[in-house]
Structures are given as structure tokens and as C-alpha cells.
Structure 1
Amino acid sequence: MNAGGTPSGFGQVWGMVSFLFQPSMALMNRLKYVWKFLIIGVLVAVPLGYVLFLQNAISQERIEFNEKERSGVRWVEPAREFLYQIERRRVASVGVALGLTGFSGDVTAATEEANKAVKKVDEQDAEVGDELRTTKKWKQAKTLWEGLQKQKLATADEADKYHADIASLMIDLVLNQAGSNSNLVLDQELESYFLMDAYLRKMPSLVDSIARSATLGMRPQPDEQAEAERNVELAGIYKQFLNQTTELDKTNFAGFREAAKKRGQNVAQTLKLAEKSLDKLNQHAEMVRTKFLTAKEKPNQDALRPIVTATLENALQTVELWRRIGPQLDALIEDRVDGYTFDRNLALGIAVFAALALAYLFVGFFLSVQRSIAVLGSATGRMIAGTMEEQLRLDAQDELGQIGTQYGQINDALVEARTLKNRVEDENRQLQENIFDLLQVVSDAADGNLTVRARVTEGALGNVADGFNNLLESMQNLIGRIQQQLERSNRAVVEISSLAKGMANGATNQAKDILTARQLVMQMSEENSRVSQDALTAATAAQRTEASAIEGAERVENVISTMNELRASVQAGAKRMKILGDRSLEITGIVATISRISEKTNLLALNAAIEAALAGEHGRGFHVVAEEVRKLAERTAAATKEIDKLVKAIHAETKETAEAIERQTQVVEQESQLVAEAGVSLGKIRQVSTESAGLVAHIATVAKAQVEGTQTMVRTMEEVTAIAQQTQKGADGTVATVGELISLTEQITQNIRQFKVA
């Protein structure tokens, strides 16, 4: 409490906290310590166990997610070898079909290696095929492979087609079955994502593009139309190949390099192999461009041989990089699995340690409290019996230890109280003896013998005896003086009797005059009451007038606020319409640009058509494309003109709308000024009403005070009347009393003579 008697800030907070925890305190006050600790332990253990369960579930989910990714990598590893051998056999078979010697051995070797890869894929598929859902399509691929081995490939087209079907099916298996169903495509780690993208998407596609571009370029075409279509398809493969190579370099390996640098991993060997493979890919792209797309003459057999050899080398180099990425990706995933496993085990260990430590501390705390309570209970029994002489000491330094210290202080107080009790009992016995002697003296004095004296002893009663003796001496002197005064009183009473009779006559006349004055004051009080009632009615009317003025002012303020909001909204709309007009102008500029582009495109298409016409049969296909481009440019120009007309119309309407909004804004501002002037007028009315109400209220207050004063005067006159009547009665009674006083004085004189004062 502070000096003013109000609780301090901390006391208020502590009181609020205590109030909030009253249910908890009530529960704990009804339980023994065993149940208290059990409840607290359960409340701590249940959330801790649930958090541990969630942590373990999350870690297990992550581990299973990444283990499934590893299953996908293990399945893709032999599938990669099978796909590579198919592509290798594809290129070599096309070369053999074209009459090139020296590549039959590659066909045989690729067949043997492919069969070995089939067995390994079968092993992995038997293990994880159901999980990855690859079994059905893998059986289809094996069926195609078995059929291919039995086929006698007479032409290059047949050789390319059968191998292309198997390669396409294997690429689909790698990406859409093994990749999707193993969570590899869902990998969210940046470093492994870049490797996964290269491992599942780009590397299979690049290996297939190498073989497909080479076989497509080497196969002879029956006529110029087929040749042109082949060149278009080959150009598409070439473009896709370049894009994938660039993306592999700029995105996958660049991202992998940065992520590995952040993690502090050494991936120099992988990146070095990637650079070498990228060189081979670029060389293959250049070979496709120079040997097939831009070559003026068809390559003969002597020119095809190095193309087949280079294609096989480029495919092998690309697969070497693919082989390197697989273990690297698996190692990253394995590291994550190990990390998740370690985190799960660490969390479990910490939770178990925390639970054991908590249980250990709880048991220790319970035993400490139990021991302290036992010591306090024993000390309490000895304190009650009065046999506790030693100072109470507890091992605990907590609140129970403080209680032990306070128990020692209580024991000291009890010992002191027992000593004081014995001393008081002795003093009481002596006091009783002195009281008996004093009572004997008092009894003699009560009989009228004022000459006796009490025995003065030590202690408080001795002071009483001494004081009683002084009292007896004083009474002895007083009685003597009273006897003298009684004689003088008898003479004075006779004089008072004559004066009392005269006062009784005067009091009777005074009472009559006061009754007349009281009637006049009551009439004045009634007039003042009517004036006060009229003043209260006027005050009520003035208050209603003031309230109406205040309400009107508030409504005007609301109208002003609404008008301001309306003005702001209208101004904002005008700004938006102006911005819309500016945007329409920008669109007009963009449409003009598109129109110029379409004109240039039309001109270029016309030039291209002319060049195609000059090229003769070789430019016929290009002439058709140029004609389509020209028509598209004309349609674009026509559409651009329509858009320009529409945008100009929108701009004109937008401008008119903005002007209308501006006019509306001016009207709103004028209305706002009028409403503001009305608000000022109502404010003045409100001020005048407030002053009027104050004056009327003051008049009512004065009238009320006057009424109250008049009523007080009436009550005073009534009291004066009563007093005058009482005075009259008192004067009459005084005459009688004086007579009685004379008789009483005579009796007192006789009684005083009974005391012995000498």
C-alpha cells in the first residue's frame, strides 16, 4: 500500500495473477504432493511425447521420401545402360544397313551389353517395380527388344524405327514412371534438383537426340519433298538439342556448382567431366549443322563412316557423364537420409534424456519436500509439548527452509511466553492479597468513615492504594466544604424562586408573538416553491433546446464528412479515368508499333516469296511458308487497325467521362461549402442554446436555494415556537423545581452530617 492507501502497480498485477490462478490453486490445495507431482508430470510428459511422436513421424516421412528417391535412382542405373546400348545399336545398325563396314562388331557388342542390362533391370524391377509401377511398360520394352533381335533389318529406316520405339518407351519409363513414382521429380533440394533434372530429363533426351539426329541425317530420302521434310524435322531436333545443351550448361551444372560451393562439397571431377561432355555435345551439334543441314551435297559412304564413329563417341561421352551423375545424386540423397536419421535419433535421445532428467528432478524434489515436511511435523510436536530446545535447521534452502527458520522464531516466542506466564501467575497471587486489603478499606470508607487509609505496596495496586488514600483525603475536605456551601445554597434558592416566577410570565408573552411570525414565514415559503417549480420547467425546456441544437450540429458534421468522402471518391475516379486515358494512348503507340512490324513482316514475306520463286523447285516449300507469313501479316495489320479504332473510341469516351466527373467534383465542393456554412450556423445556435440553458439552470438553482432557505426558516420558526413553549413550561416547572430544591437541600444537609470527617 502507498501513502494514499491505494495498492501499488505490482500489487494490482499480482492480485490479477492470483485471481486468474484461483482454480489452479484450489485444485492444488486439495491434493497431496504425490498427486500434484503426478498431474504435473503427466501434463509435461503428454505434450513432450506428442512432440516427439510428430518429430519422429516427420523424420520418418522424410527418410521414406528420400529412400524412395534412391529406389528410383537404382532402377534408372541399369535402365540407362539398356537405353545407351539401344541407341548405340541403333546408330551402328543404320550404318550397317547403309553398307558401311566395320560396325557389325558394335551391333554385336551392343546386343550383348543390352542383354546384360536387361537382367539387371529385371532384378531392380523385381525389387521396386511395384512401388515405381514400371513393370508393365518394362515388359513391353523387353518384348520389343526380343522382337528386334529376331528381326532382319534390311533397310536403314527399319533399323531406325524399331530401335526408336524401344528408346522412346525407355525414356518414358525413366522420366514418367521411375522419376515420377519415386519422388525424384518432387525433389525440393536445390543441389539435387539440378542433378535430378539432368539425370531424368536432359541426359536421356540428349542421348536419344544424338542417335536420332545422326540416323535421320544419314538415311537417304526418296524425293526432294521427303528431303525437305527431313530437313525440317532435323532442324527441329538440332534446335532442341542446342537448347537442352545450353540449359544443361547454364542452368543445371551452374546451379549444381553454386549449390555444391555453398555446401562445401568438392565436385571438381564431375564438373570437369561435364565440361568435356558439353564439348562433345557442341561438336555433335556442329556436325549435324555442317554435314546435314547446310551441306550442299549429300554425304557419301566415305563421309558417313566418320559421322557414325563420331556419333558413337559423342553418345558414349554423354553416357559417361550420365553415369557420373547417378552416383553423385544417390550420394546426395543418402547424405540427406543419414542427416534425417541422425536428427530423428538425436531428437529421440534428447527427449529420453529430458524425460529421465525431469523424472529424476521430480523424484528428488518430492523426496526433498517429503523430508522437510517430516522434520517440520516432528518439530511441531515437540514445540506443542514444550520439549524443543534446539534450533530447527532444514537442509532445503527453498521456501520450506524459510518456514523452518520461522518455526525456530516461533519456538523462541513460545519459550518466552511460558516464562512470562509463570511470572504473571506469581504477580497475580500477590495482587489478589493486596486487592483483599484494599477492598476492606473501601468497605469502611463506604460506611462513612473517611478517616481510614489503605496499605501502600509495590506494583500497580500500590499506586491504586496511594491514589485511593488521596481520594479519601480529598473527599474528607470536600464534605467539609459542601456543608458550608449548603448553607449558602439555601439562601440562593429562595432568591431563584422569586426570579423563576417572573420568567414564567415573560415566556408566555414571547410564545404568542412567535406564533404570529411563524404564519407569515409559511406564506412566503409557498410563494417561493411556485417560483422554483416554474424555474425548473424553464430549465428543462432549455436543456431540450440545447440537445436539439447539438443533434443538429452532429448531423451536419456527418453530412460534411460524407460530402468530403464523396468528393475524395469523385476525385479518385477522375484520376483513374485520366490514367485510363493515358493507358489508351500508350496502347495506341503499341498498336502503331505492331502495325509497322506487320508491314515489315509483309515486306519480308514478299521478298522471301520472290527468293523462293527464284530458287525454283528447291524453294517451293519455303515459298508456301512465305506466303502464309505474308497472309498472317496482312491479317495482323487489319486487326491492328481495328484495335486502333477501338482504342481511340475508348480514349474519347474516357475523356468525356473524366470531364463529367470533374464537373461533378465542382458541384460536390459547392454543396460541401453550403453544408459547412449550415454547420457554422448550427454551431452558433448550439452556443446560444447552451448559454440560455446555463442561465435558466442558474435561475432554477437560485430559486431552489431560496425555497430551501425559506423551508429552513419555517423549520427554525417551528423550533423557536417549540422552544418558547418549552421555555414557558420550563419556567413554570422551575418554580416548582425550586420548591423541591429547597426540600432537597434540607435532606442533603442531613445526609452530609452522617460522614465522619474529623
Structure 2
Amino acid sequence: MTVPASRVRRRPAVPGRTLALVLALALLAPLGLIFVQAERDFADDHDLVSRERLGVRYLRALGPLTDAVVEAQAIAVAEGAVSRASLAAAVEGVAEVDNAVGDELRTHERWAGLRAKLEALPDRGIGDPEAAFRAYSEASDLLLALYRKVRESSGLIRDPRSDSFFLQDGIGGDLPTATVLAGRLVDLARLSAKRPAAERARIGAELAELRVSALGPANGLVADLRSAVDSSESTDLGANVLTPLDTYQRSLETFALYSAPGAGRSAPSTDQLTRAGISAQNSAKQLRTVILDQLDALLRERLDALERDRLLGRIAAAAAAALIAGIVALHVAALRRDRSRATPARREPAEAGPAPAVHPNPPLPAPGADRQPVAVGHGGDADRWRPFDAAR
């Protein structure tokens, strides 16, 4: 009868399964860190571009105000009656935008000072055109300061892309400065014709200095726009900007020609300079609209790209998390199977009859019992004792 031997317990493969499970779970930490950092970068970039678009909106409202101030100054210096309707409409347009986005751009204080100055401007310069010129010059200086404030607070001045940076520099810095100083040059030339001959030399120096100050930003605008077109990946930018830029550049060349002193005189011709100034201002209006539209379009495209990148990042993070979750689930299931196999149910021993009783002191065999006759023909031990019995 064979008694079944007890089965030796197998050691479960728990350490290997546990290590793989821990490594799979450990992947969640760097994945979560990358996802959180990506979300933070998206939020920062999205806020920056959104704030820049607010700045573009404010600059768009400042354009008509700039034109209204320059035109009103020209009328006041020429001793005409200033129409307050166009200036008031431009002021209300900026006030509406300032109420909407001024908190975020922090422009309320500067706009309040400029608005008060604009509302105090004289309606006409009859009797004292010099005073009107000084008053409007002070107002236009405040206006240019507001341009700088909008660019700084909106982040346009720190735009990281080359094309949008050159566009914002042109529309928020060069173009308004060139427009204001060109109008100031025309009005100062008109005033110089009425001043005494003793002041002609001083007036000529002032005009020459103001001419350089006006043409510098205008040429800078042309350079900015060409740099923006050259550095941009957008095919629409060059097609939309170059035509009005060429028109502006031609009017600028005409203005530069007529703003230079003529032969035998220290001051330029006021009539020719006035017409050239009006032509340059009209071409600047057209160019300003195009630049603002293109700048806003570039910022919108950047926002769309950020949204797409964010969506793709979230999809990738969700897929990675689902993959890790699947790996963890498989390892947990395998770990449970290993544990269940390591602890099998105990087997019951096979049924057998009662074990034979063993006497503690078995009786010795009787003398001569080993010499019992053995039947012939029987094999085994009887054959071994047969020669011994014959010898006896």
C-alpha cells in the first residue's frame, strides 16, 4: 500500500508582480506632473494672447481719436471753428472701450487725464493760435503716452513672435507718433509764416528738428512692416499689407519733399505741405486698419493653436492614464491568481484498511522449526537447504 506524500508548497511569484505593479503606478507621478505643467503653460500663454487682443481692441479705438485730435489742431491753428462732434464721438468710443477693458489694462487713470484735457481744448484759435497749438500739443503728448501704456499693460510690447511684434510696434508706436508729429509739423510751418522775421532762424531750426522727429517713426513703420512680412509664416500678411504700405510710402516721400526748406527760404511751402500731410494721413488711416486686422488675425490663430495643443495634450494624457490603468488591472488580476494557486485545498488521504497490529515482543520460532520438510518441486528456500540435510 502506497501512502501519498504531502505536496510541497510552491512559493508564489508575488515580489515580481508587485514590483511591476509599483512601477506602473509610479508612472502616474511624472505623467501628472507633465500634465499639470502643460496646463499651467497653456493658461499663461492663453492669458497673454487674450490680453494682447484687448490691447489691439484699445488701439483700434485710439486710431479715430488720433485723427480727430490732429484735424482739430489744424483747424484751431488755422483760426477756424473746430467741430466738436467728431472729436466727441471719438472720445466716447475710447471711453466705451476703457470701461470694458480698462481694469485689466490699468488705463483708467491715464484715460481720465487725457479725457479731461481733450474736453478743455478750445473750439477755435481766433486771436491766439499759438495757445491753441500748445494746448493741442499737450493733449497729443498725453495721447501718445496712453498708446505706450496700452502696449505695456497688454503685453504687446513683449510679444514673443517676430511678425506680431513688428506689427504692434508699428501700429502702437511708429504710426501714431508719425501722425501726430507730421500734423504738428504742418501746423508749426503755418504758424511760422505769421511770426516776425527776427524769429525766422529759430523757427527754421525748430521745423528741421520736428521734421526729423516726424520722418523717423514713419520710416521705422515701413521697416517694421517689411520685417513683419519677411518673418511671418502667414501668406495673407504680405498680400494684405504691402499694397497699402506702398501707398503710404509714396505719400511719405512726397511729405518729406515738401517739408524740406525751399531755395531762398527757411520754411517749407505751407500749402503744398498741408496737401502732402492730408494725403499721408489718409494713407495712414488705410494702413492702420489693415495692420490692426492682421495683428488681431495672428493673435486669433495663436489662440486656436493653443486650444488644439491643449486638446491633444489632454487626449494623450487620458490615453496614457487609461493604458496605465489597464496594466495595473492586469497585474492585480495576475497577483490574485498567484495567491489563489499558492494556497490549494488540502487533499484527503486515500481510504485503506486497518493497519496490522504489531506485537511488542514477537515469539521466537520453535527449535527445529527451520528444518521442516519441504515438498519436492517447490522452489525458493527449500532448494537452498537440501545439500545441508543430505550431509547430516
TM-score (norm 1): 0.42
Could you list the per-position Cα deviations for residues 190-219 of structure 1 after superposition, in whole angstroms to 9, with x for gaps in the alignment?
111110110111001110121011111111
Determine whether 1:204 maps to 2:197. no
Matching residue within 345, 358, 366 for 2:324? 358
Give the corresponding residue for 2:277.
311
Q: Distance in 1 between matches of 2:75 and 2:274?
A: 7
Is 1:294 the equivalent of 2:262?
A: yes
**The residue matched to 1:267 in structure 2 has which SS?**
helix
Shift of 1:353: 2.0
1:70 to 53, 74, 88: 53
The yes-or-no answer on 1:228 pairing with 2:169 is no
The within-5 A match list for 1:641-660 is: none
Alignment correspondent of 2:310: 344
Structure 2 residue 190 is matched with structure 1 residue 218: yes
Q: Is residue 273 from structure 1 mapped to residue 239 from structure 2 by the alignment?
A: no
Distance 1:243 1:151, change over 3 A: closer
> Given the superposition, is the C-alpha separation of residues 230 and 299 from structure 1 closer, same or farther in structure 2, using an over 3 Å criterion?
closer
More off after superposition, 218-227 vs 273-282:
218-227
- For 1:282 and 1:245, the matched residues in 2 are separated by 10
Structure-2 separation of matches of 1:42 and 1:357 = 11
Is the 8 Å Cα contact of residues 95 and 308 (structure 1) preserved in structure 2? no
Whole-angstrom CA distance in 1 between matches of 2:237 and 2:55: 25
Structure 1 residue identity aligned to 2:47? E
Displacement of 1:331: 1.4
Change (3 A) 1:381 1:126: same
Higher RCO (Cα < 8 Å, 6 or more apart): 2
Name the amino acid aligned to 2:166: F
Task: Please give the per-residue CA displacement for 1:560-581, whole angstroms capped at 9, x wherever unaligned.
Answer: xxxxxxxxxxxxxxxxxxxxxx
3-state SS of 2:87 partner? helix
Structure 2 Cα separation of the partners of residues 153 and 39 of structure 1: 88
1:308–1:386 distance in 2 versus 1, CA, 3 Å: farther
Q: What residue is the counterpart of 1:61 in the other structure?
A: 44
Report Cα offsets for 1:664-685 as digits up to 9, x if no partner.
Answer: xxxxxxxxxxxxxxxxxxxxxx
The counterpart of 1:283, out of the listed 246, 254, 258, is: 254
Matches of 2:112 and 2:133, distance apart in 1 = 21
Matched with 1:461 is none
**Structure 1 alignment gaps of length 5 or more:** 1-27, 98-103, 388-439, 441-455, 458-464, 466-758
Deviations 1:632-665 (A, max 9, x none): xxxxxxxxxxxxxxxxxxxxxxxxxxxxxxxxxx
Q: Distance in 2 between matches of 1:369 and 1:30?
A: 7
> 1:351 offset after TM fit, Å?
0.6
Could you say which residue in structure 2 is the equivalent of 1:164?
A: 137
1:174 deviates by 0.4
Aligned equivalents of 1:55, 1:356: Cα separation in 2? 19
> Quick check: which has more Rg, 1 or 2?
1
User: What's the secondary structure of 1:311's corresponding residue?
Assistant: helix
The superposition leaves residues 414-443 of structure 1 with CA deviations (integer Å, 9 ceiling, x where unpaired) of: xxxxxxxxxxxxxxxxxxxxxxxxxx9xxx
* Distance of aligned partners of 1:385 and 1:206 in 2 relative to their CA distance in 1, 3 Å threshold: farther
CA distance in 2, matches of 1:122, 1:273: 29
Spell out, residue by residue over 1:595-641, the C-alpha distance to the aligned partner (whole angstroms, 9 max, x if none).
xxxxxxxxxxxxxxxxxxxxxxxxxxxxxxxxxxxxxxxxxxxxxxx
SS at structure 1 position matched to 2:152:
helix
Q: Is the 8 A contact 1:207 1:319 kept in 2?
A: no
**For the Cα contact (< 8 Å) 1:91–1:308, is it kept in 2?**
no
Task: Indicate conservation of the 8 Å contact 2:167/2:228, yes or no.
Answer: yes
1:409-420 to 2 correspondences below 5 Å: none
Quick one: distance in 2 between partners of 1:306 and 1:238? Answer: 15
- 1:144 counterpart residue number: 117
Contact 2:76 2:125 in 1 (8 A): no
- Which residue of the partner structure matches residue 93 of structure 2? 120
Residue aligning to 1:193: 165
Partner AA of 1:146 in structure 2: E
Structure 2 CA distance for partners of 1:205 and 1:318, relative to 1, 3 Å: same
- Contact kept, 8 Å, 2:201 with 2:266, in 1: the verdict is no
Answer yes or no: is 1:259 the counterpart of 2:231: yes
Structure 2 gaps, min length 5: 1-11, 351-369, 371-378, 385-392
SS of the residue aligned with 2:195? coil
Shift of 1:272: 0.8
What letter is aligned with 2:202?
A: E
CA distance in 1, matches of 2:58, 2:44: 21
The 2-side partners of 1:167 and 1:209 are apart by 9
Aligned to 2:360: none
CA gap of 1:279–1:386, structure 2 versus 1, over 3 A, is: farther
- Alpha-carbon distance in structure 2 between the residues aligned to 1:225 and 1:304: 19
Structure 2 CA distance for partners of 1:55 and 1:143, relative to 1, 3 Å? same
CA 1:217–1:152: 2 relative to 1, 3 Å: closer
What secondary structure, in the 3-state scheme, does the structure 1 residue paired with 2:63 have? helix
For the residue of structure 1 that corresponds to 2:160, the secondary structure is coil
1:71–1:182 CA contact under 8 A, matched in 2 = yes
Shift of 1:268: 0.9
CA distance 1:31–1:214, change in 2 (3 Å): same
1:54 CA drift (Å): 0.8
Secondary structure class of the residue paired with 1:179: helix
Question: How far apart are residue 129 of structure 1 and its match?
Answer: 1.4
User: For the residues of structure 1 that align with 2:319 and 2:349, how far apart are their CA atoms?
Assistant: 49
In structure 1, the partner of 2:297 is 331
Q: CA deviation at 1:366?
A: 2.8
Shift in alpha-carbon separation, 1:123–1:209, aligned structure 2, 3 A: same
Equivalent residues of 1:133, 1:181 under 8 A apart: yes
Alignment length, in residue pairs?
Answer: 346
**Aligned to 1:363, what secondary structure does the other structure show?**
helix
Identity of aligned residues (%): 20
SS at 1:154 equivalent: coil
Alpha-carbon distance in 2 for matches of 1:386, 1:360? 43
Structure 1 or 2: larger helix share?
1
Report the Cα distance in structure 2 between the residues aligned to 1:264 and 1:52, rounded to whole angstroms.
34
User: What are the superposed Cα offsets for residues 121-146 of structure 1, whole Å, 9 maximum, x if unpaired?
Assistant: 11111122122221112111111111
Q: Which residue does 1:462 correspond to in 2?
A: none
Letter in 2 for 1:51: I
User: Aligned partners of 1:168, 1:345: CA distance in 2, in Å?
Assistant: 46
Deviation at 1:94, TM superposition (A): 2.2
The amino acid across from 1:326 in the alignment is: L
